[in-house]
Amino acid sequence: MKKEVFIIIGILFLGGIFYIGNFYWKNLRGISPIISRPSIDIGNALNNSNAASPSPSQSPDINKEETPKNTTEMPLKLPPLFSISLYAKNLGKPRVMHFGSDGKLLVSIPSQGKVVRLIDKDNDGFAETHADLISGLNKPHGIASRSQENKLDTIYIAETDQVAMYDYDTTAGKAINKKKIIDLPGGGNHFSRTIMFMPYPDHDRLLTSIGSSCNACNETDSRRAKILVSNFDGSNLKEYAKGLRNSVFMAIHPVTGKIWATEMGRDLLGDDIPPDEINIIEENKNYGWPICFGKNIHDTKFDKSIYKRNPCMEPFETPSYIDIPAHSAPLGLAFFPEEGWPKDYWHNLLIAYHGSWNRNEPAGYKIVRYKLDEKGNYLQVEDFITGWLKNGKALGRPVDIIIQPGGTIFVSDDFAGVIYKITHTLKI
């Protein structure tokens, strides 16, 4: 009897080893870039912003600027006439960026439970001071603000389990008088909560994006895998759009005023499916998850139900606007404004590909440029910044993007722990 028990245990053990090995081989061979540390210590990189971005009084020689400048000590490649330097370093894992009314860059660091305020005291293009705006939070991520006449500006911060509003004391550099306005479901696979005010005339309506609790499942919490909308004070909270597995970042198109969002598709279906997505978010629309992905493709691996109709079809389910290569992990997105940018960049879109884990050959780890016309129609896509992935090792992972009028871009990197400053050196 004991012999049979040992045989059964041995078979089960070998079966477990085989299952784990098979799962790793199919799904996790490409995970090494995100579990290893960068081979380049970006924290010790030299910052030379004066070389990277001429002052307004200078007239750059365009012929000399054809080769992009890079002062990050990373092998990053940029288009001609662009330069990159460090704006801040040693930040841990910075995520969302937001400029306050005082012109200071605010950055959420969920892993440290705080939002910091970056200060460039000597105006050399490098923020040497990191002051806590507020600390002791539960994985803070999204940041938004709202100006009020004759009052302190209001800062909104989304933690994983709530959204709260604060008075922003710009003199002290602190967020004070916390008032919780929205309860959110915490835990689950996707911790990030992102917030954004809608464009005029709905500028007092606040959007809150909440990812799914799982890879693919039927949610038990009605707030999950959705973008919610509320009044600026958190009242009248309701569903805005659903079927969104993990739409971490949103942006407003500068001409149409429509809301665009990146979307991460589910894992464990192979290297090339499902696609990640760019969606144009409209109220009361269903974007398909967990039943559908991409251009309304039915996820039969998850959903084996029998329907009277195709379960993935318009107008019931909304297909992606643009498909992105699977497991690119798209996060921050930002549109180029017209002011201070060459015309061929107007209304184009930059997206940060944070980078894959569930893919045998790592993908992503770059910023791409989507060429669009003024109405948002897709024209083509090309790499904008590459070099964060080298010899299968990640040197950095871009997260959020801010594009300012006048030729400046900021990018956060939660792997290298830095904020980059990218400058267009062509005098417009």
pLDDT in tens, 131-174: 999 999 999 999 999 876 656 689 999 999 999 999 999 999 99
Least confident of 12-21, 55-64, 226-235, 364-373: 55-64
Distance, C-alpha 213 to centroid of its chain? 18
C-alpha 293/C-alpha 320 separation (Å) is 8
Q: Do 268 and 27 form a contact (C-beta atoms < 8 A)?
A: yes
**Helix/strand/coil (H, E, C) string of 179-245?**
EEEEECCCCCCCCCEEEEECCCCCCCEEEEEECCCCCCCCCCCCCCCEEEEEECCCCCCEEEEECCC
Banded model confidence at residue 21, pLDDT cuts 50, 70, 90: very low
The pLDDT of residue 55 is 36
The pLDDT of residue 308 is 85
Q: Provide the pairing of β-strand 285-286 with 238-242.
A: parallel
C-alpha 406/C-alpha 235 separation (Å) is 37
Q: Do 393 and 64 form a contact (C-beta atoms < 8 A)?
A: no
Q: Do 219 and 187 form a contact (C-beta atoms < 8 A)?
A: no
C-alpha 134/C-alpha 115 separation (Å) is 6
Token match 């400058």: residue?
423
Angle ∠(112,114,115) on CA atoms, nearest 5: 130
Instruction: Please list the residues that pair with 197 across neighbouring strands.
Output: 206
Instruction: Please list the residues that pair with 182 across neighbouring strands.
Output: 163
Q: Across the chain, what does the average pLDDT equal?
A: 87
DSSP state letters, 292-333: EETTTEE-TTT-----SS-SS-TTTSPPPSEEE-TT--EEEE
C-alpha 46/C-alpha 55 separation (Å) is 19
Q: Do 420 and 97 form a contact (C-beta atoms < 8 A)?
A: no
Percent of the chain predicted with pLDDT > 70: 82
Higher pLDDT, 258 or 38: 258
The pLDDT of residue 391 is 85
Q: Do 367 and 353 form a contact (C-beta atoms < 8 A)?
A: yes
Nearest to 170 by CA among 157, 158, 153, 148: 153
C-alpha 141/C-alpha 414 separation (Å) is 12
For 285, other C-beta atoms within 10 Å of its C-beta total: 20
Examine the pLDDT at 401 and tell me if it is beyond 90: yes
Average pLDDT estimate for 405-420: 97
Model pLDDT for residues 318-339, shown as the tens digit of each residue: 999 999 999 999 999 999 999 9
Examine the pLDDT at 60 and tell me if it is beyond 50: no
Q: Domains plus CATH for the chain?
A: 31-424 (2.120.10.30)
The pLDDT of residue 56 is 34
C-alpha 379/C-alpha 375 separation (Å) is 11
Helix ranges, 42-100 (H): 49-52
Average pLDDT estimate for 270-295: 97
Average pLDDT estimate for 177-197: 95
Q: Examine residue 38 and say whether the peptide bond preceding it is cis (omega within 30 degrees of 0).
A: no
For 233, other C-beta atoms within 10 Å of its C-beta total: 13
Going by C-beta distance under 8 Å and a sequence separation of 6 or more, which residues neighbour residue 175?
A: 115, 133, 134, 155, 157, 166, 167, 168, 169
pTM as predicted: 0.87
The pLDDT of residue 370 is 98
Higher pLDDT, 196 or 27: 196
The pLDDT of residue 16 is 46
Higher pLDDT, 188 or 23: 188
Model pLDDT for residues 30-42, shown as the tens digit of each residue: 555 655 665 555 5
Average pLDDT estimate for 347-375: 94
C-alpha 128/C-alpha 146 separation (Å) is 27
C-alpha 90/C-alpha 43 separation (Å) is 6
Model pLDDT for residues 161-173, shown as the tens digit of each residue: 999 999 999 999 9
